[in-house]
Structure 1
């Protein structure tokens, strides 16, 4: 027995096999012929494989003896290599069917001496298994095998998730034949749940002897099988949680084990969608008081760390135990510290209420519970801080001097607005320390990194392409593209051969028509290396530019497409020895003297630059580089048209720009102009020289697309590369990004702010377009997008390039008209301030607040923004007046808006504890 089989468990002493032909020593079914007839049968088998007739393969295997099968296997391997490399002229619609037939035939031709590992290498190959029914055919082709061998093979295949999910009939058949249980895996369990889900779910679960083990694994999976997470719906008999509860009630499943697995899964955490199944199971099982008490440590961990919905359930469980007097004080203290560290106000307030109730009934527990309550002193919500401070104040007389000092020390976490109340409560125990001047903390200015040299060998290049590392960013893509062009120029045949071997199933295997509607990234250049592209298609795409209806982001993506098509048409020829436009810096910029040297090499080799490659190089050249002046002289001295164009570019001639503005909402009586993207106008001006000198993909920089509002509701791709198209023109790049950032500010599109990181690191002035791009980013729905905008604001501030008041002015009208929601802006501002940039954030908010406070009915949700503003003022010591704040603070009620307005007004008039200092 093999080592892997030793971990298997026998299901039953023996499993009867259906009657069938007697097995041969080869492991297949005995046939009545051999010799020459066997050779003829092998030919018939191979013909069926070439024609993709997988269903006929098991029957064609029967007459073949061991030697015929061995010979057939050798030819099947050769055929597999041809199909994988695309060398065999198989019609596209037959490729998958041929792979299926290869899969089944290879399984049947495996010799009796083949180990389970050898069989798994064929049956687990991703390039062969296409359809689920192929697994059943392969099982028939395998014939009779030793139980240990079958179990070993099943275990090996089950560990490969993609194989296990798509070949359940094969794995299940091997398990039944062997009589062993295979250690459960995610792939096998997912396939198992899919095959069992029907109207007889409960009955089928009862009949399967593996149900207890497989159910336990399914409940513990990080991502539960889709069938288990379905709602009750209109087919209740297919609802897994209900079925499992039924089996628990019948004793088929052990109740304690199911509860343990579900609670453990909740404790391990993860996205809320992945915890719905275990949470639903716990609720359906309705644990009694004893079962709840046995798992108190688990409930505490869940309440502290799980997603809000799950944590709320755990908090309810512990609250029930506390109300019954069965929750130890130490456990309540641990729970309190964990829950009060959370940000959800509902959970935090409920916990403070629970502690207050317990202390009212058991005052002696104050010494153990109040230190846990101080966790709320560091909350971002000053209202929570106030509740916690009042709770501590009510029960402070019940603690000893040591605990009192501990509580007083924790009071240093309170907001300055509560310092006076804390001082009255703790008196001399509240240490005041030495007042330090405020110091603004900004992130270090990021430095551009030099792009690594291209791959030095074909093997290294192909490894980069196969590993898929091009998705890591534009730098990796540019490096790979440059390496591909250089190596193809030196030895196109070697590169072509390496590409064929490295991509057994490339996008272009079904013909060059796969590029009719797109470049497929760098794959179009690889197809060019292999000579698979229609020259007429290449010429058309190279001459194609954005039409009048194109969006600006389409124009940016069109530049990359044009470069790829140009490279695909010229790769491996003397017309493209290397790329001029490959960046020298991670931002996408090219060092001026490096570009001069590249043009010199082209001149010396007698090569005329490719138009699109040269255009991208000219747009990317860093005009602000200190060496730009000297480089301009050297470029002019080259005596070539390209050199003269570079010199003019470096001297600032023909530089394009952009202005942005927004139409009024009701202009021309057009009420459909509601969202900013519907009213945004980007004017690129008119530059005839640019339109005359640059190729079609770049001519929009000279005044096209038209400066008019236009929607862009279609899918957006290639965001990461946009910033590298215009790394030397930050304001122009920002204008091009604005339509996408402004479009559907309420939508759930993620990643729209991805180019902001590169935008702030680009060269050029910071004008209205850049500030608007950041403003829209601060108001995005996606938290990651907002974080990118926060980073952009802080980096510009660190570089001394941020006009914080102008940014605040742009945010003011966006918030006032509802395009930027206050709660999202508050979250972004709070994140930025927490890094130590309180004065920067306050300067932005100070410029924004007068306009949003002016209306008779202030913008809903503004209280959160005022809370962040107050916190910034209290910490940086700013003073002054904000129009409209006094009237708002004097209003009636105790809403968040009124309370925080009063807090901000008090901070501005009194200053913070520390004297303010000026910051750069």
Structure 2
């Protein structure tokens, strides 16, 4: 009978369940035949798929079942079952365990026990593919599992529905407290009524498992060591068992050993059990206190001091053993706990022996001077540490040069061609130079420029993607328009009048629209052969400014040629004029006769007002308090700018910021479009800068650095952008920007502070990052500015009565107090005063009181140049251009 032919068909059809029935009917010879033919079939099946194809996985269950039933030796079966071909690492758990067990059922018991051991020793992790089959075979055979940590972790990862009836319980439960990886598997167990916690405590209550075995196992696991995550489950199991003082007493020495160096939760557990134990000797107590008071965790040091104080008050004779623990506490990093340790040492000094008093006296030098003097007055022989010299912050560094002369426009066709071969300019400086160079070169020699550019384009035109720009619209990138102008110049443009078709018609941000208008009008002028001799708006300086004298000269050249300047070019040029008047240039402009000349002669810097509004909501269901971040509420900053219309559409568009952000490109170019209107440029940029996914931190840093070197008042929008960049992790250069603006006396510190407070309160930036940046700025000379920033932020950041303080608030208040001390600030802040009067002794409250004492330490009513206003930290700010 052809057994192999039928079995092969079932494998081909991937019918593992039918195979399980069929192979069990085979006699010994039939099984040998099938086993011998399996490798050949596997090779054939593997050849049907590519090397990286997972198609063979689908045949895995059928092949595994067939091999398990027919291959002779246990070692060979183990190797066959877990071939990588059948199930790669990402294939998930086996789904054919029941079928494999069914075909193995008629194997001898010793053979199945051998297979079980081999499968166990192959395991490498708790979620290994063979875990389910290995556990099932162990339960069926009843053998003692070999010692193997991944097996125990895998058993723990699959709590049986009836743990008490599990044949593996007695074998593996003791190993649960020793095997590596168990703690990681069980780390998420929390509910003592469910999972392993519930199962083990229930078995302990029923007597199926001894409580002593579980408690000893937990303590033994703690003594073996590990991270807090590794031990988290065992801490919860120990607390769920809740050992009584009678159960704790025999293990007191073990708990004492856990206090010095075990993870915090374990040390806290051990301290709690020892504190409830009545049988500790004086030496035991001294050892426990000394261990706790040298811990790095504030909570444990505080608990140790409290335990020590209560114990000595109950039993005054213990005062003779507290000297060494308290001396240890003198070295703690926490100021309030050092002060508490000194108070306890002074309170219990009368009960100390001479030796104990000498131990405390030797530790006096570890204390800061103000505490050292108090202790030295009682404990003779103590040496008081000298006070560290007060830190004198350095002066504010000089500001770097605001701007430098920019490279002139492209002056040769070869240079322009080189830029075009680089797929267009990637900076606003290169783009401006290329655009100006194309206009000037084409006006000077259109035929020669076109021929030279065509020669450079030939290789590009031969590519299949040469006309890609013309098959997609609109053109939203400046380099698309520059390439389009070159194609029109060389008569290779597949679409005429591209400037009519490809201008985006959607909602574009004003700086982006102005950029595209300038490029489109150059393209149009190329097509209509109406280019002027040169462009007006090409910047002369790295800030984006156009020197007034140079702008007048350019208009003189255009008038002399009888040409007209391009409209968008003229309006951009006006926006780039410096704010400082140039009388000589103004006199020359008055002699111009063209309409553009008259516009220039009459031009004065427009008056612009900007406003910034914080809007918050929860996705359209109404506005909500922006302090609440727990229900997916969001924060949105809405800038606006208004100016008296000047009658030039693009100028009026640029000086009026809409309430809603729009589509935008080339954000890093925008500051150069408004170099004389810093706050307006910031208002355009701010909505995009606050979107973390819109651009990377280096771009935001480049934008704020450019704005820092622009002209014009800095208000709420600039302040928000600066605050945002200061709070950006990994951008230490943002401190340089703050120092630069401060050195020019252009930093709106109070407004920056208000925005800092709002950004921190809304969760837009992290406290740790903001404190790090402001601390660095204070240490480099901007301490007075940092103080004004912190003082303006505090009214927003200090919690209302009953509210929890924000994470890191203590560090922010410490920074404020330090900066106030460095700059000698005086003047009461009502919010700080009211907060300082609250009850409590938390770290942030102590820092608030220190700040309040610093500010009110002078004579009542005194104030100096560093006094601060007491704004309420509202959600709006304004900046007015004058």
Shift in alpha-carbon separation, 1:98–1:808, aligned structure 2, 3 A: farther
Shift in alpha-carbon separation, 1:100–1:609, aligned structure 2, 3 A: farther
Partner SS state of residue 708, structure 1: coil
Question: 5 Å matches for 1:664-743?
Answer: 672=623, 674-675=625-626, 677-681=634-638, 707-708=659-660, 735-736=687-688, 738=690
Partner of residue 449, structure 1: none
Partner SS state of residue 681, structure 1: strand
Q: Is it true that 1:819 corresponds to 2:749 in the alignment?
A: no
Partner of residue 297, structure 2: 342
Question: 5 Å matches for 1:885-900?
Answer: 888=833, 895=840, 900=847
Q: Is it true that 1:306 corresponds to 2:260 in the alignment?
A: no
Does the CA contact (< 8 Å) of 1:267 and 1:301 recur in 2?
no
Q: Is it true that 1:70 corresponds to 2:36 in the alignment?
A: yes
Partner of residue 204, structure 2: 245
Does the CA contact (< 8 Å) of 2:126 and 2:157 recur in 1?
no
Does the CA contact (< 8 Å) of 2:327 and 2:359 recur in 1?
yes
Shift in alpha-carbon separation, 1:902–1:815, aligned structure 2, 3 A: same
Q: Note the alpha carbon deviations across 1:500-549, whole angstroms, 9 max, x for none.
A: xxxxxxxxxxxxxxxxxxxxxxxxxxxxxxxxxxxxxxxxxxxxxxxxxx
Counterpart selection for 2:147 from 150, 159, 183: 183
Partner of residue 386, structure 1: 339
Q: Is it true that 1:133 corresponds to 2:75 in the alignment?
A: no
Q: Note the alpha carbon deviations across 1:81-127, whole angstroms, 9 max, x for none.
A: 64575769x8xxxx975444344445556574837456543488436
Partner SS state of residue 375, structure 1: coil
CA shift, 1:374, in A, is 0.8
- What is the CA RMSD across the aligned residues, in angstroms? 6.4
Does the CA contact (< 8 Å) of 2:16 and 2:61 recur in 1?
yes
Q: Is it true that 1:172 corresponds to 2:146 in the alignment?
A: no
Partner SS state of residue 309, structure 2: helix
Q: Is it true that 1:121 corresponds to 2:83 in the alignment?
A: yes
Does the CA contact (< 8 Å) of 1:116 and 1:150 recur in 2?
yes
Question: 5 Å matches for 1:90-129?
Answer: 98-105=59-66, 107=68, 112=73, 114=76, 116-117=78-79, 119-122=81-84, 125-126=87-88
CA distance in 1 between counterparts of 2:282 and 2:685 reads 63
Shift in alpha-carbon separation, 1:435–1:84, aligned structure 2, 3 A: same
Partner of residue 823, structure 2: 878
Does the CA contact (< 8 Å) of 1:197 and 1:227 recur in 2?
no
Partner of residue 5, structure 2: 40
Shift in alpha-carbon separation, 1:277–1:736, aligned structure 2, 3 A: same
CA shift, 1:191, in A, is 4.8
Q: Is it true that 1:432 corresponds to 2:386 in the alignment?
A: yes
Partner SS state of residue 181, structure 1: coil
Partner SS state of residue 438, structure 1: coil
Q: Note the alpha carbon deviations across 1:774-798, whole angstroms, 9 max, x for none.
A: 85799xxxxxxxxx74654675358
CA shift, 1:293, in A, is 0.9
Partner of residue 232, structure 1: 193
Q: Note the alpha carbon deviations across 1:822-880, whole angstroms, 9 max, x for none.
A: 99848963897599959768844533435755999967567985775456645863312
CA distance in 1 between counterparts of 2:422 and 2:18 reads 53
Counterpart selection for 2:329 from 365, 373, 377: 373
Shift in alpha-carbon separation, 1:810–1:289, aligned structure 2, 3 A: same
CA distance in 2 between counterparts of 1:856 and 1:800 reads 27
CA shift, 1:257, in A, is 4.2
Counterpart selection for 2:120 from 155, 176, 179: 155
CA distance in 2 between counterparts of 1:734 and 1:286 reads 63
CA distance in 2 between counterparts of 1:252 and 1:355 reads 31
Does the CA contact (< 8 Å) of 2:255 and 2:274 recur in 1?
yes
Does the CA contact (< 8 Å) of 1:815 and 1:852 recur in 2?
yes
Aligned pair count?
645
CA shift, 1:708, in A, is 3.1
Q: Is it true that 1:290 corresponds to 2:249 in the alignment?
A: yes
CA shift, 1:132, in A, is 4.0
Partner SS state of residue 824, structure 2: coil
Counterpart selection for 1:192 from 143, 150, 155: 155
Q: Note the alpha carbon deviations across 1:735-790, whole angstroms, 9 max, x for none.
A: 335256xxxxxxxxxxx999658854787446866864785799xxxxxxxxx746
Partner SS state of residue 239, structure 1: helix
Q: Note the alpha carbon deviations across 1:130-181, whole angstroms, 9 max, x for none.
A: 55431232344567484575145312442244334x7513542267459451
Partner SS state of residue 114, structure 1: helix
Shift in alpha-carbon separation, 1:707–1:284, aligned structure 2, 3 A: farther
Shift in alpha-carbon separation, 1:865–1:73, aligned structure 2, 3 A: closer
* Bigger radius of gyration: 2
In structure 1, runs of 5+ residues without a counterpart are 1-32, 443-577, 620-635, 686-701, 711-722, 741-751, 779-787, 912-917
CA shift, 1:201, in A, is 2.9
Partner of residue 210, structure 1: 171
CA shift, 1:295, in A, is 0.9
Q: Is it true that 1:796 corresponds to 2:735 in the alignment?
A: yes
Does the CA contact (< 8 Å) of 1:889 and 1:902 recur in 2?
no
Question: 5 Å matches for 1:228-627?
Answer: 229-232=190-193, 239-246=198-205, 250-251=209-210, 254-255=213-214, 257-264=216-223, 268-270=227-229, 274=233, 277-283=236-242, 288-301=247-260, 305-307=263-265, 311-321=267-277, 324-325=280-281, 328-339=284-295, 341-344=296-299, 347-360=300-313, 361=316, 362-376=318-332, 378-379=333-334, 382-395=335-348, 398=352, 403-404=359-360, 406-412=362-368, 429-432=383-386, 435=389, 437-438=391-392, 604=459, 606=461, 607=463, 608=466
CA distance in 2 between counterparts of 1:354 and 1:114 reads 63
Question: 5 Å matches for 1:840-855?
Answer: 843-849=785-791, 852-853=794-795
Shift in alpha-carbon separation, 1:232–1:368, aligned structure 2, 3 A: same
Shift in alpha-carbon separation, 1:816–1:159, aligned structure 2, 3 A: closer
CA distance in 1 between counterparts of 2:302 and 2:312 reads 15
Partner SS state of residue 172, structure 1: helix
Q: Note the alpha carbon deviations across 1:781-823, whole angstroms, 9 max, x for none.
A: xxxxxxx746546753588467697576455367479934899
Shift in alpha-carbon separation, 1:368–1:853, aligned structure 2, 3 A: same
Q: Is it true that 1:904 corresponds to 2:859 in the alignment?
A: no
CA distance in 1 between counterparts of 2:837 and 2:126 reads 62
CA distance in 2 between counterparts of 1:855 and 1:195 reads 47
Greater share of helix: 1
CA distance in 2 between counterparts of 1:829 and 1:850 reads 14
CA distance in 2 between counterparts of 1:356 and 1:880 reads 40
Shift in alpha-carbon separation, 1:127–1:364, aligned structure 2, 3 A: closer
Q: Note the alpha carbon deviations across 1:658-694, whole angstroms, 9 max, x for none.
A: x99325679xx99625438454226899xxxxxxxxx
Does the CA contact (< 8 Å) of 1:582 and 1:590 recur in 2?
yes
Partner SS state of residue 385, structure 2: coil
CA shift, 1:68, in A, is 3.9
Shift in alpha-carbon separation, 1:247–1:793, aligned structure 2, 3 A: farther
Shift in alpha-carbon separation, 1:272–1:227, aligned structure 2, 3 A: closer
TM-score of the pair, normalised by structure 1:
0.54
Partner SS state of residue 429, structure 1: coil
Partner SS state of residue 159, structure 1: coil
Shift in alpha-carbon separation, 1:348–1:678, aligned structure 2, 3 A: same
CA shift, 1:196, in A, is 4.9
CA shift, 1:290, in A, is 2.6
Shift in alpha-carbon separation, 1:592–1:321, aligned structure 2, 3 A: farther
Does the CA contact (< 8 Å) of 2:761 and 2:797 recur in 1?
no
| Higher RCO structure, 1 or 2 (CA under 8 Å, sep 6+) | 1
In structure 2, runs of 5+ residues without a counterpart are 397-420, 438-452, 481-521, 528-533, 545-568, 577-609, 627-632, 643-653, 672-681, 709-713, 859-865, 867-882
Q: Note the alpha carbon deviations across 1:585-636, whole angstroms, 9 max, x for none.
A: xxxx99999xx9xx999874544396699988969xxxxxxxxxxxxxxxx9
